Structure 1
Amino acid sequence: MQVTLLGTGDTTGTPTLDCRCDTCEYARKHGIERTRFSVYIQNERTDESLLIDASPDFRRQFEREGVDLPDAIVITHVHFDHLDGLGNVYRLLRDAPVYAANETDPVTGESVAETVDRKYSYLDAIEVQPTAPFEPVRTCGFDVTLVPVDHPPLLCYGVVVEDPETGAKLTLSGDTNYAIPDDSRAAMADPDLLLADGIVPAHLCEGHPAGGDHHDDEGTPRTFGSKHMTREGAIALADDLDAEHTRLVHVAHYYPVDEAFEEPLAVDGERFSL
Structure 2
Amino acid sequence: MRVTLLGTGDTTGTPTVGCDCDTCREARARGVERSRFSVHVENERTGECLLVDFSPDFRQQFLTHDVPLPDAGIVSHVHFDHVDGLGNAYRVFDDLPVHAANETDPKTGESVAETIASKYDYLDRISVHAHAPFETFRTCGLDVTLVPVDHPPLVCYGLAIEDPETGAKLSLSGDTTYDVSDRSRGVLADPDLFLVDGIVPASLCEHHPAGGTHHDAEGVPRTFGTKHMTREGALSLADDLRARETRVVHTAHFYPVDEAFEEPLAVDGEAYDL
TM-score normalised by the chain length of structure 1: 1.00
Partner residue of 2:144? 144
Name the residue aligned to 1:154: 154
CA deviations on 1:191-241 (whole Å, 9 max, x unpaired) are: 000000000000000000000010001110000001000000000000000
- Residue 225 of structure 2 corresponds to 225
How many correspondences in the alignment?
A: 274
Q: Amino acid of the residue matched to residue 140 of structure 2?
A: C
Please give the alpha-carbon distance, in whole angstroms, between the structure 2 residues aligned to 1:208 and 1:37. Answer: 22
Inter-partner Cα distance in structure 2 for 1:119 and 1:91: 17
Q: Identity across aligned pairs (percent)? A: 71
1:54-73 to 2 correspondences below 5 Å: 54-73=54-73
Within 1, Cα distance between the matches of 2:86 and 2:29? 31
Q: Give how far 1:85 is off.
A: 0.2
| AA matched with 2:82 | H
TM-score, normalisation: structure 2: 1.00
CA shift at 1:17, angstroms? 0.3
The C-alpha deviation readout for 1:114-157, integer Å capped at 9, x for no partner, is: 00000001001110001111111110000011000000111000
Which secondary structure does the structure 2 equivalent of 1:54 belong to? coil
The 5 A counterparts of 1:51-130 are: 51-130=51-130
Report what 2:247 is aligned to: 247
Q: How far apart, CA to CA, are the structure 2 residues paired with 1:52 and 1:216?
A: 30
1:28 alignment counterpart: 28
Counterparts of 1:214 and 1:7, CA distance in 2: 27
Q: Aligned with 2:165: secondary structure?
A: coil
CA distances 1:33-59 after superposition (whole Å, capped 9, x unpaired):
000000000011100000000000000
Counterpart amino acid of 1:193? L
The equivalent residue for 2:175 is: 175
SS in 2 for 1:160: strand
The corresponding residue for 2:191 is 191
Q: Distance in 1 between matches of 2:222 and 2:87?
A: 35
Q: Distance in 2 between matches of 1:188 and 1:68?
A: 26
Distance apart, 1:67 and its partner CA: 1.2
- 2:121 and 2:100 map into 1 onto residues whose CA distance is 15
Determine the C-alpha separation between the residues in 2 that align with 1:83 and 1:186: 26
Which residue identity lines up with residue 104 of structure 1 in the other structure? T
Give me the whole-angstrom Cα distance separating, in 2, the residues matched to 1:168 and 1:30. 33
AA in 1 matched with 2:246: T
- Tell me by how many angstroms 1:66 deviates: 2.0
Secondary structure at the aligned position of 2:73 is classed as strand
Matches of 2:272 and 2:67 in 1, distance apart? 14
RMSD: 0.4
Question: What amino acid is the match of 1:116?
Answer: I
For 1:125 and 1:222, how far apart are their aligned partners in 2? 41
Distance of 2:124 and 2:46 partners within structure 1: 25
Equivalent position SS for 1:104 = coil
Counterpart amino acid of residue 40 in structure 1:
H
Q: How far is the alpha carbon of 1:30 from its aligned partner?
A: 1.1
Question: C-alpha separation between the residues in 1 aligned to 2:200 and 2:250?
Answer: 9
Q: Deviations over 1:1-32 (max 9, x none)?
A: 00000000000000000000000000111110
- Unaligned ranges ≥5, structure 1: none
Q: Which amino acid in structure 2 is aligned with residue 108 of structure 1?
A: T
SS of alignment partner, residue 261 of structure 1: coil
Alignment pair present for 1:237 and 2:233? no
